[in-house]
Amino acid sequence: MGTDIHSIAQVRRNTPSTAQWETVAVSICGDPRGYNTFAMLANVRNGTGFAGIKTSNGFPVIHEQRGLPEDLEVEDDNVKVELGKLLLAWDWNGNVVSVTSDEASGLRYMEDATYWLGEHSHSWCTLAELRKFCAEIASKYTTMAVGNTGKCDTPINALEHSNLGSLLVALETIRDRCSVTDDDVRYVFGFDS
């Protein structure tokens, strides 16, 4: 059985009296299944596949699971989303599409202006944290993955064998569209089984 990620992106909007996070996208990059990415984001299936089958020696983790942000309005693992504030959407192949497109992968399944964030391993990171992790750790880290011999004998680079690069580009696009800083873009996610 597979594990999938469910994600939103938020930007921090500064008002005269407070700073508030606003959801501007769901299903970032189409929420592709990528166990190496899941390992580095939240220590999910890190080095193992279905039924505990060894897939690699594992990957570094950006940080331990943080849970959902305290200021996020969530009910039964569903986050409320104002559809009129969504700026970007992706199809199942990770291509940017119009929010009104039938190809917008995550928007098709939204009900009552809520988006499901999965039932476990919730966490989040800012674009600044992700950029630093990619540059200083994932790009320099090599692990041994299961190769043709069935043993962990194939070296792979963590960044190159994950979706972190695509995720970084997607969050940068959001940052640029919203004219905010890397610290003002937040990626929030969870997993299903």
Q: What is the pLDDT of residue 53?
A: 86
Q: Shortest CA distance to 10 belongs to which of 190, 174, 151? A: 174
Count of H helices and E strands in the chain?
3, 11
Alpha-carbon distance of 42 to 38, in angstroms, equals 6
Q: What is the pLDDT of residue 27?
A: 93
Alpha helix (H) ranges present in the chain? 35-42, 127-136, 164-178
Would you say 115 and 78 are in contact if contact means Cβ atoms under 8 Å apart? Answer: yes
Burial (Cβ within 10 Å: 0-12, 13-18, ≥19) of residue 179: exposed
Q: What is the pLDDT of residue 51?
A: 81
Backbone angles phi, psi at 163, to 5 degrees: -100, 10
* pLDDT tens for the 193 residues of the chain, in order: 688 999 999 999 876 667 799 999 999 999 999 999 999 999 999 998 888 888 999 999 999 999 999 999 888 889 999 888 999 999 989 999 988 888 888 887 676 788 999 999 999 999 999 999 999 999 999 999 987 888 888 999 999 999 999 999 999 999 999 999 999 999 999 999 8
Q: What is the pLDDT of residue 16?
A: 63
Q: What is the pLDDT of residue 1?
A: 64
- For the record, the structure tokens of 91 come out as 């199809």
Helix (H, G, I), strand (E, B) or coil at 162: coil
pLDDT digits (tens, 9 = 90+) for 154-188: 999 999 999 999 999 999 999 999 999 999 999 99
In terms of pTM, does the model score above 0.85?
Answer: yes
Using CA atoms in the order 121, 125, 130, 131, what is the torsion angle rounded to 10 degrees? Answer: 180
Would you say 186 and 124 are in contact if contact means Cβ atoms under 8 Å apart? Answer: yes
Which residues, other chains included, contact 153 with Cβ-Cβ below 8 Å and sequence gap of 6+? 144, 146, 147
